[in-house]
Amino acid sequence: MIRLYVPDPLQAGASVTPTADQSRYLIGVMRLSAGEAVALFNGRDGEWRARLVEVAKRGCRLEAEALLRPQTIGPDLELIVALVKRARLETIVEKAAELGACGVRPVITRRTNADHTNVARLQAIATEAAEQTGRLDVPKVAAPVRLEALLDAWPQGRRLMFCDEAGDARPVIEALAPFAGDAAPFAVLIGPEGGFAPEERDKVRALAFATPVSLGPRILRADTAAITALALWQAALGDWRA
Ligand code: SAH
């Protein structure tokens, strides 16, 4: 069944008008006709079976019928990633959604040369990946901020897995082991192609909430590092253990 993210409240009988793009996809691409079923989720009310009740030139309308799966919440895991080239950042956002991150925060570091990105496009990629992967929520893509500002306003209780390529960090499995079982919110930090500047690295390593980790003896590209780090976190502390 086709899955669509919609912002609308979902309950039995709820009427949902998909966006123009979604309508085009349902009617134009997938050739659905009135009476056919689609799955809807909004990140709050679980997944609902809905039926296409109206098909018109300008769009269509769906009606929610029955709850397919109640809402569940995944682990509180964010990905903080330095702005890297557009194609790579898009891959990172898509894979973060597949790997169960609940948010992606692009950051500006000393060695990033970009200071903006198309957040709406990244959010659309995250939404499509969430629809495709079967999750019941969509990771939120934040607007880029400076890494230092983010660290200075760090939320109480969230831990940081600092992916540190410099070589003397502990192996990731060993470094995460002490946190098994405490279900603390976490974030993973991945640097830019040029790596972290020494002052940045010193600053992050000195933070009480940060745990530097090594992802092995080879330098990984930011996209590989992000995917690897999220997967290892999910396996060590997240919902891959169930
Ligand atoms: N400064 C590096 C390249 C940075 S790779 C160089 O020597 O050119 C981009 C980011 O991926 C790094 O900042 C780090 O967060 C992560 N990364 C890559 N390889 C890693 C490794 N072996 N261990 C931990 N983190 C790694």
Ligand 1 nearest atom to the CA of residue 219, by list position? 19
Alpha carbon of 109 to ligand 1 centroid (Å): 14
Task: Output the six-digit token pair for 4.
Answer: 């669509």
Alpha carbon of 18 to ligand 1 centroid (Å): 41
- pTM of this structure: 0.95
pLDDT by residue for the chain (242 residues), tens digit each? 999 999 999 999 999 999 999 999 999 999 999 999 999 999 999 999 999 999 987 889 999 999 999 999 899 999 999 999 999 999 999 999 999 999 999 999 999 988 899 999 999 999 999 999 999 999 999 999 999 999 999 999 999 999 999 879 999 999 999 999 888 999 999 999 999 999 999 999 999 999 999 999 999 999 999 999 999 999 999 999 98
Mutation probe of ligand 1 site: the residue of 173, 219, 221, 223 with most atoms within 8 A of C-beta:
219
Q: Which residues line ligand 1 (CB under 6 A)?
A: 163-165, 190-191, 193-196, 214-216, 218-220, 222, 225
pLDDT, tens digit (0-9, with 9 covering 90-100), for 98-156: 999 999 999 999 999 888 999 999 999 999 999 999 999 999 999 999 999 999 999 99
